[in-house]
Amino acid sequence: MARRILVATGGGDCPGLNAVIRGIVKRAYLEEGWEIFGCIESFNGILKDNIEIIPLTPKVVSGLHVKGGTIIKTTNRGGPFHFPVQQEDGTWTTEDRSELMKRRLENLGIEAVVNIGGDGSQRISVALENMGINVVGVPKTIDNDLATTDFTFGFQTAVQIATEAFDKLVTTAESHNRIFIMEVMGRDAGWITLHSALAGGADVCLIPEIPYDPRKVAEKIATRYRDNEGFCNIVIAEGAIPFNGTVSGSSSTLAGDLHFKLHGAGDRLRSELEEIGVDHDIRVTVLGHLQRGGTPTAFDRILATAFGVKAFELVKDRKYGQMVVYRQPDILHVSLREAISQPNLIDPKTNAFVHAARGVGMSFGD
């Protein structure tokens, strides 16, 4: 009888997910006797009243490494421990369907699960492991905020997209003597911000790891205009925050809070700068989902493919409870527990690219 693997993708989509899936399937079909199934919409596919899983054959995954997104769908909702159920009165609650999941995996003859996902997904992986389900994890975070791997797929694609967007904004900023604020992804980690700011040649780079002072940003702007550059480009992470007390006065703080709720970090910064008295034309662009989409860069396709191949091999070798990682130049594995133990944030003191950015005159608002 065939040995069976179930593959799921969890959390926000990320360029390279399909390449991982293809890697697993193509590697598996080099061996005799394996069958790979895809679980639709993260683990929900196997938790629903009517199971939704699909066979993943070489034909199905052919050419998939070029395609963004995930053909087996993904979501942030539900999962084995908090599956949404509608009650008789119409309201929703959640229930633990992890035992149902285990039973169904057994019934379907599935010996292991490959869970491709970020921090939250891998916490679920650990919990499933604890129940005796065999799991292999593949890291997925566009934010590059996992400490145990040098890079995650999707990150370079997001940086490339943000950099190309920045290149476009520069020409219009120059032509109009404007200040442009480009808001990119990164709630806790500033990797996409730092890399795209450095690649684009931004004047200011604001990241969650370095609380910024709007007055310092305004000073940098003033310097730019005094030096007759006549425009200023700022990249800000969605999670960047001014340090306490920067914007003085209760009304302004309120306005700031309101802005932050209605809009994001970019709009808040504009509001802060206007309040300080910056009177140049300021425009905000929020990249948002553009950073998640499209075909992965060459590097991300390669990394994702190698992750997929490795994930299958871990299952084949019965090395469960492990997560695939990249430690240049090798593809290795660490325990899932170790993988989720700490995030990968930028250390402003030691990071080589923060140093390089300061070296070309970039301000971090500090």
Q: Note whether 275 binds a second copy by CB under 8 A.
A: no
Residues 74 and 227: their CA atoms lie apart, in Å, by 49
Nearer Cβ to a second copy, position 103 or 318? 318
C-beta separation of 106 from 77 below 8 A: no
Residues 128 and 110: their CA atoms lie apart, in Å, by 14
C-beta separation of 346 from 354 below 8 A: yes
Nearer Cβ to a second copy, position 250 or 261? 261
Nearer Cβ to a second copy, position 81 or 299? 299
Q: Note whether 180 binds a second copy by CB under 8 A.
A: yes
Which are the contacts of 118, defined by CB distance < 8 A and separation ≥ 6? 10, 11, 12, 139, 140, 141, 146
Q: Which stretch binds a second copy (CB under 8 A): 22-30, 100-108, 211-219, 246-254?
A: 22-30
CB of 97 to a second copy, least distance (A): 20
Rg, the chain, Cα only: 23
Residues 166 and 180: their CA atoms lie apart, in Å, by 9
Nearer Cβ to a second copy, position 81 or 353? 353
Q: Which residues pair with 224 in a beta bridge?
A: none
List binders of a second copy among 181-210 (CB under 8 A): 195-196, 198-201
Q: Note whether 282 binds a second copy by CB under 8 A.
A: no
Compose the 225-254 pattern: x for residues touching a second copy by CB under 8 A, - for all others.
Answer: -----x------------------------
Q: Note whether 270 binds a second copy by CB under 8 A.
A: no
Instruction: Cite the active site residues.
Output: 143
* Alpha-carbon distances, residue 42 vs 63, 66, 101, 203, 239 (angstroms): 22, 21, 13, 40, 26
Amino acid letter at 343?
A: P
List binders of a second copy among 114-153 (CB under 8 A): 150
Q: Where are the alpha helices (DSSP H) in the chain?
A: 17-28, 44-47, 58-61, 98-107, 119-130, 155-176, 191-200, 214-226, 250-262, 265-276, 298-316, 336-339, 352-359
Q: Which of 48, 215, 283, 337 binds a second copy (CB under 8 A)?
A: 283
Compose the 43-72 pattern: x for residues touching a second copy by CB under 8 A, - for all others.
Answer: --------------------x-xxxxxx--
Q: Note whether 353 binds a second copy by CB under 8 A.
A: yes
Q: Note whether 83 binds a second copy by CB under 8 A.
A: no
Q: Compute how many other C-beta atoms are within 10 angstroms of the C-beta atom of residue 305.
A: 21
CB of 9 to a second copy, least distance (A): 8
Q: Which of 82, 168, 280, 337 binds a second copy (CB under 8 A)?
A: 168
C-beta separation of 24 from 7 below 8 A: yes
CB of 292 to a second copy, least distance (A): 5
CB of 239 to a second copy, least distance (A): 19
